[in-house]
Structure 1
């Protein structure tokens, strides 16, 4: 399992939305051989880093959904600390209201969707591209 392959779609969505893109530092924790760990944090800062993890086994859509949830939690905090609206990614159906939620549409596909209407906005990694 390649951690970058799971993280890159989330980072692409952060960039597409003009959000704060974290630096990623990889860590190997021997006591958890079933997971790959990393720390994400504001560029150039080590304080305030958050650990994220991806299970080595499991389906791609589920792994991506779980990682997107973790990064989204960090992002909301980072945006709030920067004095910016803390709704990432912002729901296009309800602007200024709430963020989209990551969801495993299938075992192999992860999506961003509105938590109210459940309307699918896009596949994770395609936030700046065309909607469904």
Structure 2
């Protein structure tokens, strides 16, 4: 896997492990076919896949925020019909909505979408 994609993916996978979320099988390469982008596939338990990528010349925080959004969508699809899909759960509203990713400068955080409260940095759940 391209090192920049691996670095951007690691904090999100760390959050999945810390919260007991499902982990994708990550297969590097094969998508997209662009020298300025590093990609991989996130495979679902049903055999379907979702692409994840980073634009190589973008700031690291932007890469992490993008990857976190993509992985969060992957988790929702993976859990659909079998478990609650609000990953990561908002501690203030655990039955209502998941946290969402917000980037501010070099910081990438999970925030409550209802009130904007920053909960934890991406990679620091658990």
**TM-score in terms of structure 2 length:** 0.91
Equivalence for 2:43: 41
In structure 2, runs of 5+ residues without a counterpart are none
Task: List aligned pairs for 1:47-58, cutoff 5 A.
Answer: 47-58=47-58
- Once the two structures are superposed, the pairs formed by residues 107-122 of structure 1 within 5 Å of their partners are 108-122=106-120
Partner SS for 2:109: strand
- Written as runs of structure 1 = structure 2, the 5 A alignment for 1:1-132 is 2-29=4-31, 31-42=33-44, 47-81=47-81, 83-106=82-105, 108-128=106-126
Query: TM-score under structure 1 normalisation?
Result: 0.87
Residues 29 and 23 of structure 1, relative CA distance in 2, 3 Å threshold: closer
Aligned residue pairs total 124
Runs of 4+ in 1 over 2 A off after TM superposition: 28-31
Unaligned runs of 5+ in 1: none
Report the CA distance between 1:32 and its aligned residue.
Answer: 1.3
Single out whichever of 1-10 and 87-96 deviates more from structure 2.
1-10
Cα distance in 2, alignment partners of residues 30 and 90 from structure 1: 31
Question: Shift in Å at residue 68 of structure 1?
Answer: 0.4
Structure 1 contact 28–36 (Cα < 8 Å) conserved = no
Q: CA deviation at 1:2?
A: 2.1
